[in-house]
Amino acid sequence: MALRNLFVGCAAVILLASAGFVFAASTTDLPDLGEPANAELSPAQEARLGRAVEQNIRAQLPLVDDTQLNSYIQALGERLLAAAPEPHIPFTFLIARDSSINAFAATGGVIVVYSGLIEAAQNEAELAAVMAHEIAHITQRHIARALEENQRLSLATMLAVLSGIALSANAPQIGSAVTAGAVAGSLQNQLNFSRAFEREADSIGIGILARAGYRPTAMAEFFARLARTESPSDANVPELLRTHPVTGDRIAEAEARAAQQPDTGRTDTLTFELAKARLQALLASPGKIIDAYAKGTAAERSRPAVRYRYALALRRAGQAQQSLDILRALVAQHPNSIAMRLALAVSTSQAGQADTALEQLRRLNALYPQQEPIVVELARLEIRDGRPAAALKRLRELVQARSVQPQTLRLEAQAAAQAGQPAFSHETLARYHFRLGDRTAALEQIDLALKTHGLNTVDEARLRSLRRQMQERQPLQ
């Protein structure tokens, strides 16, 4: 995998490596950031670059496509951001479908957490610790500061990495040679500066962790545990340790910093345990989870997250009624768990009780309004129940109120099409494709919207303006 090859042993150039990977599709889609001589990225430039980074990551990395899990990781990130130095740009948190124990921060407030990291974390504090560290890399503007520290070399390296990854799409050996040479050439010059970045990210991250209400020792504990499990074989070293080299001194420094913070924070939540269980249920085969549950001890099978994972696996295996029985008992024990109540409604629907499921979701939506996972599940059932207009109304209200995941836009387009609003359906699909970095498909959908019969002049003018924004890669309103 190109990302791993770039990251190995090169924490100093994590930024350049990740940038090179995510721009592999087409460097012509990079926003114009001004003259190369102006090496320091301004916050506005970094935000624009961040939008391009997100688009290219979505286009190239295998991401977890699940509204509930993505909402969880975004909410956790925002909780940490509320305790961070004032962010100068918006942040986006994504989950890569990759078993590596890793995470990385990219230009423009984009943080990618690997599914392997979530599975490796023993509690929410450990996951939050890694995310806080990555947040610190961005809030401390390490990317812009690296460019400012060594303008000529850093910019040249970035261009070389971009070119090397672009070449590797058609000629892997050539591309790898170009990229490796660029990275190796800059490593020694930037290594000391990068170690300073890592220490600063540790220090700031531990403060974020404590202020967000988590145990501040979680960062040192997680890194130490990973280091203890490290194999003498280089192939078995966790990716997180490759990209963030851990030494005894670094762990000791993290422990000392944590000791300066009040240790009153929490380590775990049921929400984390259920998110981790849901991720496992999505990535593993249902049969594997069902077999593991059958072989587990009574104590293990009594854990709420284990029973929840088992119920999700049963549903995926086509055993909706058995899943429903387990989830009813879980909801009775944990009535405030949104994840469990959502799972109950979906299993209720799949067990042939659509009206009951709709009522369950409407009650949940009334208790927790404008929550994307709830609105999405409710809209899906309303579309399935032949009520696309109601689903469209809910989704439009959500989209107008907050930033949503691309998949929610796709569902909104489906509701609009079934509700007899083809122009709006094409427009929403255009926004969906644009978010994913597919400008060609986005423009095609806008053109289809413009050809819709009966389009009024106001809508036509808006669509033409939207087309110009997409053509010029401007941020959409």
Is 476:466 a contact under the CB 8 Å cutoff?
yes
Q: What is the pLDDT of residue 179?
A: 46
pLDDT-based confidence at residue 472 (cuts at 50, 70, 90): confident
pLDDT value of residue 144: 66
Q: Does residue 134 carry a catalytic annotation? A: yes
Q: Which of 66, 124, 202, 382 is catalytic?
A: 202
Higher pLDDT, 58 or 239: 58
Which has the minimum average pLDDT: 59-63, 312-316, 376-380? 59-63
Reported as a single tens digit per residue, the pLDDT across 171-216 is 344 444 444 444 444 444 444 447 788 888 889 999 999 999 999 9
Residue 242: the pLDDT is: 52
pLDDT above 70 covers a percentage of the chain that reads 75
pLDDT of residue 156: 47
State pLDDT tens for residues 398-453. Answer: 999 999 999 999 999 999 999 999 999 999 999 999 998 899 999 999 999 999 99
Which tokens in the block code for residue 262?
A: 């009040």
pLDDT tens sequence across 226-285: 877 655 455 554 555 455 555 566 777 777 777 777 776 778 889 999 999 999 999 999
Q: Alpha-carbon torsion 147, 7, 135, 190, what sign?
A: negative
In angstroms, the CA 247 to CA 239 distance is 15
Range with the poorest average pLDDT among 153-167, 215-229, 320-334, 363-377: 153-167
Give the range among 8-17, 117-126, 144-153, 329-338 with minimum mean pLDDT. Answer: 8-17
Domains plus CATH for the chain? 2-259 (no CATH), 269-352 (1.25.40)
Single out the catalytic residue among 46, 66, 98, 134.
134
- For the cut 60, the answer to whether the pLDDT of residue 43 exceeds it is yes
pLDDT confidence of residue 41: 62
Note the pLDDT of residue 54.
Answer: 84
Concerning whether 382 is annotated as a catalytic residue, the answer is no
pLDDT tens per residue, range 362-407: 999 999 999 999 999 999 999 999 999 999 999 999 999 999 999 9
Q: What is the pTM of this model?
A: 0.82
Higher pLDDT, 109 or 394: 394
Collapse the DSSP code of 157 into the 3-class scheme (helix H, G, I; strand E, B; otherwise coil) and give the result: helix
pLDDT-based confidence at residue 140 (cuts at 50, 70, 90): confident
Query: Using a CB cutoff of 8 Å and minimum separation of 24, what contacts does 401-404 make?
Result: 401/370, 402/370, 402/372, 404/372
Q: Which residue has the higher pLDDT, 28 or 58?
A: 58
Q: Tell me what pLDDT residue 258 has.
A: 74
Q: What pLDDT band is residue 147 in, cutting at 50, 70 and 90?
A: low
* Helix and strand element counts for the chain (H, E): 25, 3
CA 247/CA 118 separation, integer angstroms: 23
Separation CA 59–CA 275 (nearest Å): 24
Please name the residue that has the structure tokens 């918006």: 90
